[in-house]
A and B are shown apart, each in its own frame.
Chain A
Amino acid sequence: MNLRKDQRSRRKCRKIMALLVEFVDNELDPERAKMVDDHLRVCSSCRQECEDLKTSKELISSLPEHAAPADFLIAVRRRISSEPEGSEGIEKAPESVPGRFRNVLPFLFRPPVPQLALAASFVLVFTFAFMLGRHLFPIQDVLVASPAIPLTASRASLERGTDEASPAAFHERGSELSGGPEARPSSFGEPADIQPVSTRYNLDSPMVYPYQTPSEFVQALIRNDPQFKNAEIYPQPQGALIHTPLHLYEITISNTAFLRAQRLMLLHGTKLPNNITQAQTIYHLKISALLSPLLPVQIQNR
């Protein structure tokens, strides 16, 4: 009689156990929840198991969330543009730098700390490369600093007349500042514009070009705009990325437009507009909202 009672109670326990996860997760319908609840009142082993399940669940649920780094999107974008398609296959060996080095290092030694191994391998590689380099290419005495855009090239393209914009009000203000109507070009596209400039300025002087690269120029424009006062700026070859808590813009300028901008600055002074929208019109910037619910500035080149 007792044996049969035991068997029945064990069967009941097994039935309840199968429902315990859902009971702990509040996923049971009221009827079955009540059945589990009633059983837990009288069965200590099931009650204990229920408590254990609950504890585990609560401990994991209350773990603090690790938020992705602020520049996560930028890192993803970089990888998308730098890694060739097909290189990210799911079955492929991991790409992380430490991983790659760990692949090689066990043959040499087992490092106590992975970071140490990485540092050690860098030292080895660079020392070897340096020694080889010294042997193959004796150090040159002269270091030649070259501007990002050769001045010869800039003159050539200026003379080709590559720009197509009409000057905005800002230019006119600029031309007033830089010395009268004779300095103001009638049309930006004609070679005639260039002649007076090259005779009046020393084009090779760095003072004439305060911004040597498109990136420097775009960064200066961004910093000049009060709305991006606290934004993070990431330099890019043709411009920069601006990262604010809600927005990510890419602002770039083509080489052609940059040369034109340099010429405008030559003609009208280096005072930059303090509004990126105005700058966009004047200098032909390309503004892309990589992520943006609403742009505070108007986008025209998108």
Chain B
Amino acid sequence: MFARASGETSGSEGSEGDDDAVFIERFLAGDEGAFNQLVLAYKNRVFNLCCRFLGNQHEAEDVAQEVFVTLYRSLKKFRGESSFSTWVYRITVNHCKNRLKYLSRRQYFQSSSLEGPIETEEGEVYPSIQDDSPNPEESLSRRELDALVQEKINELDSEHRMVILLRDLGGLSYQEIARVLDLKEGTVKSRIHRARLELKDKLGKESGP
């Protein structure tokens, strides 16, 4: 009944896909526990992507939960044409983009950041660099740098944000990203190119004179 250990860590692509197929089959046959295994296998990836895309942990938690509720309800519609992980990412992307649109309409991000302001002697400030160093990472502590990178990710438009996160955070191949976002592989590569340059450009401005 309990065939294997919990899938908290992702294994190799192939065996992971096989596991997913087994869990899906069991779930569709009425085994509720199999769905829990799927949640466990994907919860960190989905939550992390939501966190970085939305830049806010509370919203990310809510959206990540929505993703799995959607998965639960629509798993019977899963045809297996693409891999299950692609499908999970696709649902996550849709939920994230919708939430971002919703929040943007309410100008939510003016006062919110994932890492939050940094406390200094002068009070709370959002991290920025004030020196002339060409490399921002040289003049900031790790935590400050992460907060700064997140802040700049938040400034990217949603297409650039998603493509760069799927690649550099999720570790998806160009082909997988193309499937998730319904794009051509060439478009994915050029979008990654532009998104990375834009991010570097925004970070570079912070370190300007």
- Pick from B2, B65, B68, B103 the residue with the most CB of A within 10 Å: B65
A181 lies within 8 A of chain B by Cβ: no
Residue of B nearest to A246 (CB): B6
Determine the distance from Cα of A95 to Cα of B64 in the docked complex, in whole angstroms.
12
Known interface pairs A52-B197, A52-B200, A88-B66; A67-B47 also in contact (CB < 8 Å): yes
Chain A positions 197-242 with a Cβ under 8 Å from a chain B Cβ: none
> What is the CA–CA distance of A53 and B72 in the complex, to the nearest angstrom?
38
How many residue pairs between the two chains, A and B, have CB atoms under 8 Å in the bound complex? 165
B138 to chain A, nearest CB (A): 11
Binding site for B on A (CB under 8 A): 17-18, 20-22, 25, 27, 49, 52-53, 55-57, 59-61, 63-69, 72-73, 75-77, 79-80, 83, 85-86, 88-91, 93-96, 98-99, 102-103, 106, 112-114, 246, 248, 288-295, 299, 302
Q: Which of B4, B62, B150, B195 contacts A96 (CB 8 A)?
A: B62
Q: Give the complex CA separation of A208 and B32 in angstroms.
A: 38
Q: How far is B166's CA from A57's CA once the two chains are assembled, in angstroms?
A: 11
Which residues 155-197 of B sit at the A interface, judged by CB distance below 8 A?
Answer: 164-165, 167-169, 174, 189-190, 192-193, 195-197
CA distance A114 to B59 in the complex (A): 12
Interface stretch (choices B13-21, B81-89, B106-114, B124-132): B106-114
Q: Are B111 and A112 interface neighbours, CB within 8 A? A: yes
Cβ-defined contact, A53 with B197, below 8 A: yes
Q: Closest residue to B43 on the A side, CB-wise?
A: A68
Residues of chain B with a CB closer than 8 A to A248's CB: 36
User: What's the minimum C-beta distance from B207 to chain A, rounded to whole angstroms?
Assistant: 12
- B24 at the A interface (CB under 8 A): no
17 contacts between A and B (CB under 8 A): A21-B189, A53-B197, A55-B203, A56-B203, A59-B145, A59-B199, A65-B44, A65-B48, A72-B64, A75-B65, A86-B73, A94-B63, A94-B102, A95-B62, A96-B59, A98-B58, A99-B102
| CB neighbours of B203 from chain A (8 A) | 55-56, 59
Contacts of A76 in B (CB 8 A): 39, 65, 68-69, 72
